[in-house]
Structure 1
């Protein structure tokens, strides 16, 4: 088995982090500002595969890319956000960008610790500080990222307590996880991915999104996570890091051949 994560570079490239993506997206749109902005001014629910590529390209570019690659991908994200504005929503709002970055951090670390076991305090503190870059690379001022993990826990609880998922956001979530235009292979695996995402969500979010979950589901989910935690760390690192390799290759190909990346 490879060594445990001590830095963001050790964690972000793990393929298992893709399993946290659905959880992070639902947490993001559970925020009324993000959820209504997506529902009213974005087609991301109908381009879920493209949006996954955009999100993962952003994370991998910020964590593993060169300065020029990071700058190019940030311009791509900002260009996409220009179109997503309304009276009560602005995709450049630092508070909303903070929430998006927070969901990426919390989802990734929560899943990582389920698979590899708890991080010690020193590693967890370092990882937390480094994850701020996913927000500060966009519109989040450095001082806006909660100062430490205790402050983040307070921020996280406060945000979850405010969540009120309405019918519009629930409809967006259904469109997201039932994409008619997705390739056949992806559609075939979506039921398992939806189930896993539901299990990873906080119980209060499952209820608000009206996602069915029984005691039997919970027992199955616990068994699946136990199996993953035994099998996944024993997979060769080249296989575990394959999605990162593919996404970075795709990003560099598009930058080289097209002079840019479309969101």
Structure 2
């Protein structure tokens, strides 16, 4: 296969995977994984209100992922500018000293952005295989490569991003051993997954969300966040995921891909309005 053909085939595999709204089941797990990097936790705790407005954070993340993964060049570039503008103030103060000087942070830290992108990939692969079964190695490799632009379209580098599922799994497992759940991370996680005003009107969803989130986390992080993980809790979480897996593949594509279509429509409208105001 010629390189151009291989790239096109990779993109097609990624789009089939990335368009599935069922991947959103892993959203909270991805966030808790991100927060287990103290740099991310400190930046979120000091500069973001997403724990009290999780739906806004979810929509913003989805808009960026769908714009980069599915949008044209103009839409992707607009999404990158939007994220960079929001990230600009997220950095530690020069010379600041406190109890967590080891957690100096910047939203433009390429390694931290790579970590955030990798959490989205790891959780998405897990959800995909729980719903559809094991991925063929060539498809899994294509999906791994398909997530690379989420980091390098910002300040992350394409260099060093794994080319295969095997390479990604090796890097991921090594990285898990370096994580540390801080008090800041636990505070944000409690706010995100508590029955507070964060999800007003949707609090009935929180018990299954907490169970599924705990099931998707590595055991060490699950314990560090303080989840009460009993055999019964695990059985219930796995039953929820099994029920989704039994139903989801039978839903029509228009339903399974609806969030992606809505997000791209919103992005095109926002971009068109920006171009119009610039004239």
**What is the TM-score of this pair, normalised by structure 2?**
0.86
Superposition RMSD in Å: 1.9
**Cα deviation code 1:82-112 (max 9, x no counterpart):** 0100051011111100000100111101110
Q: Of the candidates 251, 262, 265, which is equivalent to residue 249 of structure 1? A: 265
CA distance, structure 2, for counterparts of residue 176 and residue 224 of structure 1: 20
Q: Which residue is equivalent to 1:202? A: 218
Residue 72 (structure 2) pairs with residue 66 (structure 1): yes
Aligned mates of 1:177, 1:226 — CA distance in 2: 22
> Are 2:198 and 1:188 aligned?
no
Of the candidates 165, 171, 191, which is equivalent to residue 155 of structure 1?
171
Displacement, 1:201? 1.3
SS of the equivalent of 2:159 reads helix
Superposed CA offset, 1:105-158 (max 9, x none): 111011101100001111111221122111111111111313433332222112
3-state DSSP class of the match of 2:162?
Answer: coil
**Residue in 2 aligned with 1:46?**
52
Which one is further off, 145-154 or 120-129? 145-154
1:206-238 Cα distance to aligned partner (Å, 9 max, x none): 101001111011112222222221211011111
Q: CA deviation at 1:162?
A: 1.2
**Distance in 2 between residues matched to 1:181 and 1:219, nearest whole Å:** 29
Contact 1:61–1:73 (CA<8 Å) still a contact in 2?
A: yes
- Is residue 46–residue 179 contact of structure 1 (8 Å, CA) maintained in 2? no
Gaps of 5+ in 2: 1-10, 94-103
SS of the residue 1:185 aligns to:
coil
Distance 1:151 1:159, change over 3 A: same
Shift of residue 258, structure 1, vs aligned partner: 5.3
CA distance in 2, matches of 1:205, 1:232: 28
The match for 2:152 is 136
Deviating more after overlay: 146-155 vs 28-37: 146-155
Alignment match of 2:132 (pick from 116, 119, 124): 116
- 1:34 is aligned to 40
Query: Do structure 1's residue 236 and structure 2's residue 247 form an aligned pair?
Result: no
Alignment of 1:88-103 (within 5 A): 88-103=104-119
- In structure 2, what is the Cα distance between the partners aligned to 1:75 and 1:94? 16
Q: Deviations over 1:5-42 (max 9, x none)?
A: 96110011111011011111110011111111111222
Is the Cα–Cα contact under 8 Å of residues 6 and 124 in structure 1 kept in the other structure? no
Q: Report which stretch shifted further, 83-92 or 107-116.
A: 83-92
Q: Please give the alpha-carbon distance, in whole angstroms, between the structure 2 residues aligned to 1:82 and 1:181.
A: 28
Q: What secondary structure sits across from 2:155 in the alignment?
A: coil
Whether the aligned pair in 2 keeps the contact of 1:28 and 1:34 (CA below 8 Å) is yes
* In the alignment, structure 1 residue 75 sits paired with structure 2 residue 84: no
Aligned residue number for residue 56 of structure 1: 62
The question of whether the paired residues in 2 share the 8 Å contact of 1:6 and 1:123 is answered with no
Deviation at 1:195, TM superposition (A): 2.0
How far, CA to CA, are the matches of 2:153 and 2:62 in structure 1? 14
The answer to whether the 8 Å contact 2:53/2:199 transfers is: no
Structure 1: segments with no counterpart, 5+ residues: none
